[in-house]
Amino acid sequence: MFNIILFGPPGSGKGTQSEKLITAYGLKHLSTGDLLRSEINAGTPLGIEAKNVMDKGQLVPDEVVIGMISSALDNNPEAEGFLFDGFPRTVAQADALDKLLKLKHTSIGVMIALDVSEEELVKRLLNRGKTSGRSDDTNETIIRARIVEYKSKTTVVADYYDKFNKVVHIAGEGTIEEIFAQIAKEIDGRKED
């Protein structure tokens, strides 16, 4: 089993590259953003609570996202590997993920961190907001709040995995194909080790 974390600020290309990676490597895609948005669309109590937080550009409480990931891992016993997209976003989430994977006798193979400048992130998200219908993508103040939240709570997650020599930084500006080729090269190199 080879498990990957796709890491980076909002709008860095995590969702975009995930779609290509799951096809190329036969991984099960687990995006906490997508899982939360399906709860919102279904109008569940969890979705209603999550929407309030997401619309302010803040992170949903750890116990909510950890619970979602735990169920998703249990529901996919046949998976040949997982691609975690947008998770973990706090050190508490990273710690919980390591424990959950240990129970399944597996671990994280690599964290791919996408580096993109702040102005490019804002531009991409405002652009996506024109068609995505996502309320967290249409307002620049909320987009900038998401970036602040990322800097204060999420960047430390890369330091956490760096201690285990698992982080690879990739320049996330360029064409989607160029970035994918760089990511694939790193994954192939790590899988052969």
Q: For binding to ligand B4P (CB under 6 A), which residues are involved?
A: 10-16, 32-33, 36, 53-54, 59-60, 65, 86-87, 89, 93, 124, 127-128, 136, 146, 176, 179
Question: What Cα–Cα distance (Å) separates residue 49 from each residue in 31, 114, 163?
Answer: 18, 29, 34
CB of 45 to ligand B4P, least distance (A): 17
User: How much of the chain is helix, strand and coil, in % rounded to 5?
Assistant: 60, 15, 25
CB of 96 closer than 8 Å to CB of 88 = yes
3-state class (DSSP) for residue 66? helix
CB of 137 to ligand B4P, least distance (A): 7
Structure tokens at 166: 């698992």
Q: Which is nearer to ligand B4P, 27 or 65 (CB)?
A: 65
Which among 4, 58, 63 has a CA at the least distance from the CA of 31? Answer: 4
Q: Which is nearer to ligand B4P, 128 or 169 (CB)?
A: 128
CB of 138 to ligand B4P, least distance (A): 12
Q: Which is nearer to ligand B4P, 47 or 109 (CB)?
A: 47
Q: Which is nearer to ligand B4P, 1 or 181 (CB)?
A: 181
CB of 55 to ligand B4P, least distance (A): 9
Q: Which is nearer to ligand B4P, 3 or 93 (CB)?
A: 93
Using CB positions, name the residue nearest to ligand B4P.
33
12: Cβ contacts below 8 Å, ≥ 6 apart = 114, 115, 116, 121, 172
CB of 193 to ligand B4P, least distance (A): 27
DSSP letters along 88-132, please?
--SHHHHHHHHHHHHHTT--EEEEEEEE--HHHHHHHHHHHHHHH
Q: Which is nearer to ligand B4P, 8 or 79 (CB)?
A: 8
CB of 192 to ligand B4P, least distance (A): 26
